[in-house]
Structure 1
Amino acid sequence: MSALFLGIDVGTSSTKGVLVRPDGEIVASASRAHEFDLPRPGWAEHDADQIWWGDFVAIARSLTAPLAEPVTAVGVSGIGPVLQPTDERDRPLRPAILYGIDTRAGQEIDELNAELGADAIAERAGAPLTSQAIGPKLRWLRRHEPEVWRRTRRIHMANSYLVRRLTGEYVLDHHSASQAIPLYDSRKLDWADGWAAAIAEHIELPRLAWPAETAGLVTATAAAETGIPAGTPVTTGTIDAWTEALSVGVRRPGDVMLMYGTTMFIIAALDARRVSPPLWGTVGTFPGTFSLAAGMATSGATADWVRRLAGQPDFAGLAAEAGQSPPGANGLLMLPYLAGERSPLFDPDARGILAGLTLRHGRGDVYRAALEATAYGVRHNLESFAEAGAEPRRLVAVGGGTTGGLWTRIVSDVLQRPQSLCATPIGACLGAAYLAALTAGADVDIDAWNPVVTLVEPDPAHAAVYDEGYALYRRLYHDTVDIAHALAARQV
């Protein structure tokens, strides 16, 4: 009987699962859509029980129920860094506060920078304090929800919460911990002496392990809920963008993943630690590895906003119309900062702008401008990678936005770089299944599981118009930033 590895990933807008054989054969896959809550401008939240655990249980049951053979190992991953406070019985005390798209803790970022020193934080943690960081959100919780703060005993990210429900173990991987800035020391690979205790105070911090290490075994209670046999090993897991990168073989220095999802996320694999203020320096997925990461606050979310505004039921019709609009979208230019912006601006009060509108423009032009705006944002971030000494040598695209072809062609044209596409765009859940295989001691090769099948080549004829568009894109933010900030102040 062949081994069978289950990988489940909780993303921002959906949860996906896959069952894989050691040779990479995908036995079955499943997905469940969900939404994230936006209770106030700048806030973004998930219900951990309903979304994280509820989706996991539903997908695990749907994938394993038809099987006559048991799962060999379970891999988990999920959105992060996120903050889910729980009480002494690990019951969520409030909705989870999501990653950098949640910008509520701006005052707390300023306070911690003043107290600890911005340079000291970047040097010790590997990255600056931004809306992505956990430390400021903990301080926000203490200030604004004191009763929740008083009752908080543990803090979870999505993967650690799943591990806790499955195994009873309280453990977080080193990579995710390295994004819990400034609680983690990325030089010592441990919780930061002094800082962690001062910020987390009475909260118990999880033990640390690597993503492919066994976190624990499925308990009888979890087995009854999920259908996964008791005693099945479960990986520690990690943040979904890093399992997504793993799923397409981004692990060698110079490899860069472009993840086309609700947000655009970019990861460069490194063999040495680098600190670059416009980017996030993190610990890698495996011991001895590191990465630089960048993330836009929206990408697919902006495209979906245009789709809904245009009254379209799906993207296909809108993409066809955008395909008829020429490069440059007939003179339209968009800033895609509809939820502020993360790297490299780190400006939570940035706002979206659509410049150049006339009565002749149609929804295809607007949609193309939105796709081009995300491509300009990718170019801005990749320039920051190069400036940090991490020049991208190979770009690998993954995620739901790679289907259809238009978006990836626009990005390659704006970058004037090719992008590799792999056979299976399932993404992070496949990377989680790969971690499960490693946990089980299987001899597996992710490049064999998911080989490159397509190369998206740039069209040199479009280089000049996109070079000009990119220069205008950079100018538009700087020329309108004061107005954007003034308008953001009205949006409460």
Structure 2
Amino acid sequence: MRAVLGVDIGTSSTKALLARLDGTVLAESSRQHDVDRPEQGLVEMDGDSWWAEFAELTRELLRSVPDADVAAVGVSGIGPCVLLTDADDRPLRPAVLYGVDTRTADMLDEVTAELGGLDPVRARCGSALTTQAAGVKLAWLARNEPDTWARAARFTMPSSRVVGLLTGEYVLDHHSASQTTPLYDVHEHRWIPEWCDALAPGLLMPRLVWSGERAGAVTAAAAAATGLPVGIPVTAGAIDAWAEGVSVGEAVPGRMFLQYGTTMFMIAPTTGAIAVPGMWTTVGTRPGQACVAGGTATSGAITEWLRRLFHGDWSTMLEEAEASGPGANGLLMLPYFAGERTPIADPHARGVVAGLTVRHTRGDLYRAALEATAYAVRHNLETLAAAGVEVRELVGAGGGLRGSLWPTIVSDVTGLPQTVPSVTVGACFGSAFLAAGLVADVDIATWNPADRVIHPDPEAHRGYEAGYRDFRDLYDATAAIVHRLARRTAPHR
């Protein structure tokens, strides 16, 4: 039976699946992994693990479905990340991860000034420089690790690293490139040579390909390592949030996609490249697409931290959080446990829990964490609205949708209906869909129809108004203190 392989390299796990060309999932598998946090603000990952887990999972899936005739491969991964490799394609150091790694915070103004100021950066890239910008991460490595940089020839992200090892092609999808700010022009869809030379001197920039396009074909060496057939096509790939957005058909202006994962990601498709202060302007996965994106630095990471802290299991803690009720019995949390990305762009923000008493339970804390992420989503929505980007509905995907509590809280806080699709396995499903597009005529509405729509409860929404105002005020009231605390634990560089 003809099938496609979709693989996603996430922050906490790599997930893979085989699907028929009609979207029926035949088999799934995953591998858990950890990130490294060598110092406060530094978040890295072993780049060799990406290929090792891809190959291992692929062989496992092929053994589990022996009659699968794999026709194409799609890969996605976390990003924007930076893995430096030498002329022989060997990693030179661990990969620097996306905006949760805040090592560039103190050089953003300096780099902006070097490029002529904020206006030209926004005009060409659509976004200001933040700790999310992979181009600044390259500059940090060039300036702080000159011995490593002297041996660097290329850079990859998780998806492009695996695509390169599968095909021998040095490529990067346009969407991922649009998050290498300030190296990519979101209007002309090309590298900006003079800024590449200034921030990443001597580094060869990859060939640009749209996410669903063919980047190359599986080589004999890759086939031997993975069990895949020689010569089958491989897509250019994408950053995981965009692949997950593809999996639920998010590319409609007026609808915002929410990725419920270790962090929470938001994608609002637009009719053109629109600059929204505090958020990121990117291109989409195919020509003609533009969007404004946002992301929290934590979300599921907080609930996982609480689960480990209390030695609980997911189902029990969700039940306890639901029993806690709206407002978490008077608890209010700021979810900035690793700084925050959009819209406040504050790498020195920290988590705060206000209102604690000895009567509070772990269910109250868990509920407060879920409500905090919902308030963060609303803050991003209000930032979009202020720039003229209208969002009328939400569509969700990701592991956080197990159970209905979290998305229900998000809809109640934002006041927006939210579609939950039939398949919520995430980015690997979107990657499989992109792969299927190389060999068949496919439609995501057929692959993944809606399962249900969560409508906001008007009474709950009114009740959350005061909580949201307090959420915004709490950050303003505590920012100076948490910034001082953050400086005391800053990395020594």
Q: TM-score range by the shorter chain?
A: over 0.9
One-letter amino acid matched to 2:486: A
- My pick for the range that moved more, 183-192 or 107-116, is 107-116
1:41-190 to 2 correspondences below 5 Å: 41-50=40-49, 52-65=50-63, 66-116=65-115, 117-190=117-190
1:465-484 to 2 correspondences below 5 Å: 465-484=463-482
Residues 91-141 of structure 1, C-alpha deviations (whole Å, 9 max, x = no match):
000110000000011122121112111221111111110010012211211
1:159-238 to 2 correspondences below 5 Å: 159-238=159-238
Residues 25-62 of structure 1, C-alpha deviations (whole Å, 9 max, x = no match):
11111111111111111111111112x11110111111
Match in the other structure for 1:268 = 268
**Does 1:324 pair with 2:323?**
yes
Distance 1:378 1:396 in 2: 13
Match in the other structure for 2:370 = 371
Q: CA deviation at 1:478?
A: 0.6
Q: CA deviation at 1:162?
A: 0.5
Report if the CA contact (8 A) 1:122-1:277 is conserved. no
Q: CA deviation at 1:69?
A: 4.1
Quick one: structure 1 residues 305 and 230, their matched pair in 2 at CA, closer, same or farther if it must change by over 3 Å?
same
Residues 64-87 of structure 1, C-alpha deviations (whole Å, 9 max, x = no match):
134234310001111110000000
Distance 2:24 2:362 in 1: 41
Q: Percent identity?
A: 54
Q: CA deviation at 1:397?
A: 0.9
Determine which of 450, 461, 464 is the counterpart of 2:462.
Answer: 464
Matched residue SS, 2:107: helix
Normalising by structure 1, we get a TM-score of: 0.97
What 5-or-longer segments of structure 1 have no aligned partner? none
Distance 1:418 1:69 in 2: 39
Distance 1:436 1:146 in 2: 39
Report if the CA contact (8 A) 1:108-1:139 is conserved. no
Distance 1:263 1:200 in 2: 28
Distance 1:387 1:469 in 2: 21
Matched residue SS, 2:437: helix
Q: CA deviation at 1:464?
A: 2.5
CA RMSD of aligned residues (A): 1.1
- My pick for the range that moved more, 450-459 or 479-488, is 450-459
Report if the CA contact (8 A) 2:218-2:229 is conserved. yes
One-letter amino acid matched to 1:301: A
Distance 2:126 2:69 in 1: 41
Residues 426-485 of structure 1, C-alpha deviations (whole Å, 9 max, x = no match):
110111011111122x11111111110111121112123210000000000011110010
One-letter amino acid matched to 1:385: L
Residues 207-266 of structure 1, C-alpha deviations (whole Å, 9 max, x = no match):
111111111111111101000011111111111100100100111211211111000100
Matched residue SS, 2:282: strand
Normalising by structure 2, we get a TM-score of: 0.97
1:241-280 to 2 correspondences below 5 Å: 241-280=241-280
Distance 1:465 1:271 in 2: 34
Q: CA deviation at 1:269?
A: 1.4
What 5-or-longer segments of structure 2 have no aligned partner? none
Q: CA deviation at 1:63?
A: 1.1
Distance 2:37 2:193 in 1: 35
- My pick for the range that moved more, 383-392 or 445-454, is 383-392
Distance 1:138 1:6 in 2: 31
One-letter amino acid matched to 1:178: S
Report if the CA contact (8 A) 2:262-2:300 is conserved. yes
Report if the CA contact (8 A) 2:263-2:295 is conserved. yes
Distance 1:300 1:25 in 2: 28
Q: CA deviation at 1:350?
A: 0.3
